[in-house]
Amino acid sequence: MARPREFDTTEALTQAMDVFWSKGYEATSLCDLLCAMDISKSSFYDTFGSKHDVFLATIDHYRKTVTAQVSAVAGVDAPARKLIESMFEKAACRMTEEGGKRGCYLNNCAVEMALTDPEAAKRINKGIRIMEETFLSLVERGQADGDIGSDLDAHSLARFLTSSLNGMMVIGKANPDREALFDIARTALTVLD
C-alpha cells in the first residue's frame, strides 16, 4: 500500500516554479528543486517524474494561477482603455520593484526553451494566448464604447498589445529604469487612439 503524500503538491509546484523563474531551466539542478520543494528525491520522482516534467507542470501552474489573474481583468467593470493602461503601468512598476527583474515567467521560459522544447513552447503559447484574449476582449469593449479607435482590427491590436507588454518586461530585465519603461508603455498605448 502506497504511503500518502506528506506535502502539498501545489505548494511544491509553486516552489519549483520560483527556482526555475530565478535560475532558468538549464541552471536549475535537481538539488535546487529538492531543497526548494522540501521533498525527498523519491517523492519528487514518484509525484512529478523528471526535472522536465516538473518544468512543464510549472508552466501549466503559472497559466492557471498568475495568467488567470490577468484574464480576470477583462471582467472588471471599468473603462476598457483604463484597464489596458493599468496593465501596462502595473507591469512597468513591477519591473522596478524588489525582485521584479525576474520578469514574466512565461517570457523567461519562451526565451530559454521554446526554440528547443516543442512541448514547452506549446504550453507557453497557451499562456500567452490568454493575455491576447484578454486584450482582445478589452479592445472590442473599448471600441464598442468609443474609448478605443475602431480603425484598426481588434485582433491585430490585441496581438500588438500582448507583444508590447511582453517586450517591455523583457527590456525591463536588462534595464529596470522606471521612466524608460513608462515611455515604452505610453508609446505602445498610442495605438488605442
Q: What is the CATH number of the domain that holds 72?
A: 1.10.357.10
Whether the predicted pLDDT of 101 surpasses 90:
no
| Structure confidence by residue, pLDDT tens digits, 22-57 | 999 999 999 999 999 999 999 999 999 999 999 999
Decide which of 178 and 7 is more confident: 178
CA 9 to chain centre: 21
Give the three cell numbers for residue 110: 519562451
* Number of domains the chain contains: 1
Residue 21, in any domain of the structure: no
Residue 54, in any domain of the structure: no
Band of residue 6 on the pLDDT scale cut at 50, 70, 90: confident
Band of residue 100 on the pLDDT scale cut at 50, 70, 90: confident
Q: Which range marks the domain in which residue 154 is found?
A: 59-192
DSSP string, 89-157: HHHHHHHHSTTGGG--HHHHHHHHHTTT-HHHHHHHHHHHHHHHHHHHHHHHHHHHHTSS-SSS-HHHH
Residue 106, in any domain of the structure: yes
Residue 130, in any domain of the structure: yes
Residue 31, in any domain of the structure: no
pLDDT of residue 1: 42
Please state, in angstroms and rounded to a whole number, the distance separating the CA atoms of residues 4 and 153. 53
Mean pLDDT of 172-180: 92
Residue with cell 525582485: 99
Band of residue 98 on the pLDDT scale cut at 50, 70, 90: confident
Is the four-CA dihedral 1, 58, 66, 36 of positive or negative sign? positive
Please state, in angstroms and rounded to a whole number, the distance separating the CA atoms of residues 109 and 103. 11
Residue 26, in any domain of the structure: no
Residue 30, in any domain of the structure: no
For residues 103-137, b (16+ Cβ closer than 10 Å) or e, as one string?
Answer: bbbbbbbbebbbeebeebbebbeebbebbbebbbb
Residue 93, in any domain of the structure: yes
